[in-house]
Structure 1
Amino acid sequence: MMEKTKTGLLAALVIMSLLQSYLLAYSMPGLGVTTSSAQDYVPTESMGQEGKLENLIFPEDIVLHMGKGKHTVLYPAMNFFNLIYTKIQSREFKGFQRNTVSVLDWDAVRNNDQGVELRFGTGVPVELLGKVLKLEGDLQFLDDVIDRIWIFKSSEREEVRTYFFSANGTTVYESVKADLTAQDVQMYVGFGEFQTAYTPVEDDLYIPAGPIESQQAMVKYQTYSPEQMQRNLFFDPGVTRAIVDRSGSQIFTDGKRGLQVEQNGKWISYTDPVAGQGGSDSESENVYESIKFINQHGGWDGLHRLIHSESMNTLSVSYQQYYSTQFYGAYPIVPNYPFMFGEMKLRLQQGVVSEYARSLITLDKKAESQEVRWLPGGESLKSELAHYSRRGEVAALYPAVLATTEDDNVLKLEPVWTVRLDDGTQEVLIASLTRKPKPGEPGGAALPPVDGTALESGDGKTK
């Protein structure tokens, strides 16, 4: 028995000796002296939350057409907005037939037929829209960009028709095999019964009949440090150097890439001028790669929406940040220039990022303080829009929050009516009010008729 034990120990020692000799001979990691070189990569530092394409594509707003000239508008993250969008995402859209936009009198459809209109702002490429909706169509449809979907029930018969509008403004695609019923449309429209009434004006803009209740918030924030972004964006931070330009901005560079830090460390612009290798570009590929790049380099702070560029020659991708409130939905954030905040912009070539600009601010999940505000409606808003100096360029009108820096790392997020122009620029049209205007006052609803008939009005809150 003792001899067998000795023999086993001896065999084990021989095996261990052979294994150690092998490891030394082939220089396995962790053994011997290690040296660093310029080729060593630094692991990416985990920063913000990761994002997914499915959470970045949603309508800019949803318009409910209730027939007899009645309309209302729902904004992202409102309860009824989420409910309608989720239900439509579960439906199937097939059998697309191409036609010109003049195939129907859309003013008549708007005023006479019950329907729901999902409006995607500057549009979404069908290839990407198919990731959030169940679409099946021919190549001509799949290569297009859709800026709205209009589902309506004919006032004359129990027939539901579904149209996808091309962003080119001249083409529509009817889904003749859409998985929707008249009862579905009636249910969607029913959600708008107690919402604020809206009136359509030219260019498919909508004006609320009265003021909309909203919320101003004071929100504390944290910031990533420029050094964190330096470590995150450069393969070898050890070979980068920091310089300060004439404007006072700090710049990190490794001789090829550059990272410019502005706004006292709150905004960065990254460039990699040799990223592109030539060849054609796929917008969908660039979007996927931009999401992956942001996930790895700074992450996401809250809700964002993909913004499609109307120019097909550009390689840029941008994401609009939203601020979510407890009762009033989510509003896009617009910066109070020269302060920059609320959007991430990237430029890509063949799926490789060559430019990246973003804020280093991350908002606390809970506001430090909140106050009720009222966005003016009625004739006051209509007049402000009509007299706006760039009225002919207005593509959209919507409530947003204006971000302004305060002391002690606090942002003031003030509700405002904002316009988006044809070139993508966002400008504040009119500020909110501290109290609800009465009927007949500026920003309030119209006075009741002389016969005393009450006018419909709401407060804009989700019931």
Structure 2
Amino acid sequence: MMDKLKTWVLTALVILSLIQSYLLAYSMPGLGVTTIPQQDYVPAEPMGQEEKVENVIFPEDMVLHLGKGKHTLLYPASNFYNLIFGKIKSREFKGFQRSAAVVVDWDEIRDRDQGLELRFGRGVPVELLSKVLKLEGDTTFMDDVVNRIWIYKSSDRDEVRTYFFSGDGLTVYESVKADLTAQDVQMYVGYGEYQTNYRRLGQDIYTADGPVEAMQSVVGYDSYSPEQMQRYLFFDPGVTRVISDQGGSQIYTDGKRGLQVEQNGRWINYTDPVSVQGQDDNKSQDVYAAIQFINDHGGWDGMHRFVHEGTFESVQVLRFQQYYGSFPIIPQEPFVFGSMKLRVQQGVVSEYERSLLTLQKKPKQRNVRWLPGGDMLESAFENYARKQDVTAIFPALLSVAAEKNVMKLEPVWAVRLRDGSQKTLLQAIPGGYKPGPGEPGGAPLQKANQDSVEPDSIVGSGGIARLSGGPLDGHLGG
């Protein structure tokens, strides 16, 4: 009898211990736990638009080499950019021959020969590029990643050369059967004849010689709810629970997957730990998987460009940069907006970051702003604290949270660093003022004009251009 009593008491203590452990695990101070009832589950409805791989593969810019050391740049969605890229997509590129990049003096060709570069930033797999361009090559070429295409006409003979540059920085592939003529190259270059000139400061660094026109926009936005994304990302949202921490974030979890909601419900970070076998990863297949994952889990908001961030511990990090007009959107921290980021391994997505905001198609307000060029832009670059880490300078739109449901997109010159991060370099000139030749941010004075202008009327002591009482007065160091 006594043994049975001891057994019952021991059993009761074990049960009480389990109950106490449960309460401790799910009732921690600062955490509020809510279980979503099974009957609350509603099948997800379509949210954003679907996208195809051929629509997210395009050059981040085009460099037109006009000869005699003159260059200009074109940006996505601009008229001449679209015209040239459309013609390039209709051509065929065959007969690829592999060689070392150092066998050609590219600096000499850049300044001497007319041509154009299609630059893809951190690179794009050739297999994906073949969905946009008509490419026919061997396995070595098709399995590589290229970061630019350089087409030029030799200055001493009527011959066109076409090179695809490998992302390794050591290898080039020449298409000896490219469907291009010298007249084609001359036509492409002719589109840049009256564009803003750019000066080359480094291997791939170009800065505008004069002001560049941009648009500052005030745009309304709509927002998906975290509950909508939860329905997309969990197989059975009815068994998930919500944890709220003291920092204001919410975490949806079903015990395996996690969906962290930040910035007052405007940004999510979804994680799904995956276990894959150790075998070679297919870069192109991972991009297809990422695009399909976005199609199925929230969709797309406007134009995006594929960016390959790199491979870390056999996991590919892929990003899709959002554009508004011709310029990419970059965030003003701590407000995060402008791209979607995924970690993918062997076609399986293990992490997914994105904004829940969607921009309205028509802006509430638009104003012309001019991005400064010339010595002002070059000086900003030369004095940038992380100058040695800069791999590109480009115009961008800084996303700034304004009033409720409204965002301001402010034009800036931005830099991309070696780690892939994007930072503001120089803001647009206030008030829509366009600086003239010889003014800070303006183009250099032409030699023909310098003889007829009184030096003291433009340049003060120390060689600093004077704009007394003008829009730039007080905005420049001196």
Find the counterpart in structure 1 of residue 437 from structure 2.
Answer: 439
Q: Whole-Å Cα distance in 1 between the matches of residues 440 and 368 of structure 2?
A: 18
> Are 1:91 and 2:87 matched, yes or no?
no
Runs of 5+ in structure 1 lacking a partner? 1-36, 325-329, 455-463
> Are 1:174 and 2:174 matched, yes or no?
yes
Q: Which has the higher contact order (CA 8 A, sep 6+)?
A: 1
Find the counterpart in structure 2 of residue 320 from structure 1.
Answer: 321
> Are 1:397 and 2:393 matched, yes or no?
yes
Deviation string for 1:272-328 (max 9, x for gaps)?
Answer: 11364554321111110111110011100000000013447432211111111xxxx
Find the counterpart in structure 2 of residue 23 from structure 1.
Answer: none
Alignment root-mean-square deviation, CA: 1.9
Equivalent pair of 2:48/2:299 in contact (CA under 8 Å): yes
Equivalent pair of 1:219/1:368 in contact (CA under 8 Å): yes
TM-score, normalised via structure 2 length = 0.83
Equivalent pair of 2:310/2:318 in contact (CA under 8 Å): no
- Using the TM superposition, name which of 157-166 and 445-454 deviates more: 445-454
Find the counterpart in structure 1 of residue 424 from structure 2.
Answer: 428
1:450 Cα shift? 5.9
1:349 Cα shift? 2.4
Find the counterpart in structure 2 of residue 154 from structure 1.
Answer: 154
Equivalent pair of 2:44/2:228 in contact (CA under 8 Å): no
Q: Select the residue among 344, 352, 356 that pairs with 1:356.
A: 352
TM-score, normalised via structure 1 length = 0.86
Written as runs of structure 1 = structure 2, the 5 A alignment for 1:38-437 is: 43-274=43-274, 276=276, 278-311=278-311, 313-324=314-325, 330-434=326-430, 435-437=433-435
Equivalent pair of 1:119/1:149 in contact (CA under 8 Å): yes
Deviation string for 1:2-21 (max 9, x for gaps)?
Answer: xxxxxxxxxxxxxxxxxxxx
Deviation string for 1:150-170 (max 9, x for gaps)?
Answer: 000011010000001111111
- Using the TM superposition, name which of 102-111 and 155-164 deviates more: 102-111
Q: Whole-Å Cα distance in 1 between the matches of residues 261 and 380 of structure 2?
A: 37
C-alpha spacing 1:251/1:233, structure 2 compared with 1 (3 Å):
same
Q: Whole-Å Cα distance in 1 between the matches of residues 379 and 167 of structure 2?
A: 28
- Using the TM superposition, name which of 147-156 and 129-138 deviates more: 129-138
What letter corresponds to residue 214 of structure 2 in structure 1?
S
Q: Whole-Å Cα distance in 2 between the matches of residues 209 and 231 of structure 1?
A: 51
1:390 Cα shift? 0.8
- Using the TM superposition, name which of 263-272 and 305-314 deviates more: 305-314
C-alpha spacing 1:387/1:178, structure 2 compared with 1 (3 Å):
same
Equivalent pair of 2:311/2:317 in contact (CA under 8 Å): no
Q: How many residues align?
A: 413
Equivalent pair of 1:205/1:397 in contact (CA under 8 Å): yes
Q: Whole-Å Cα distance in 2 between the matches of residues 363 and 41 of structure 1?
A: 28
Equivalent pair of 2:114/2:185 in contact (CA under 8 Å): yes
- What percent of counterpart residues are identical? 63
Q: Whole-Å Cα distance in 1 between the matches of residues 242 and 361 of structure 2?
A: 33
- Using the TM superposition, name which of 302-311 and 161-170 deviates more: 302-311
Runs of 4+ in 1 over 3 A off after TM superposition: 40-44, 274-280, 310-314, 450-454
1:358 Cα shift? 0.2
Deviation string for 1:394-415 (max 9, x for gaps)?
Answer: 1111000000101121110000
What letter corresponds to residue 155 of structure 1 in structure 2?
S
Q: Whole-Å Cα distance in 1 between the matches of residues 429 and 131 of structure 2?
A: 40
Equivalent pair of 1:93/1:178 in contact (CA under 8 Å): yes
Q: Whole-Å Cα distance in 1 between the matches of residues 45 and 281 of structure 2?
A: 29
Equivalent pair of 1:220/1:363 in contact (CA under 8 Å): yes
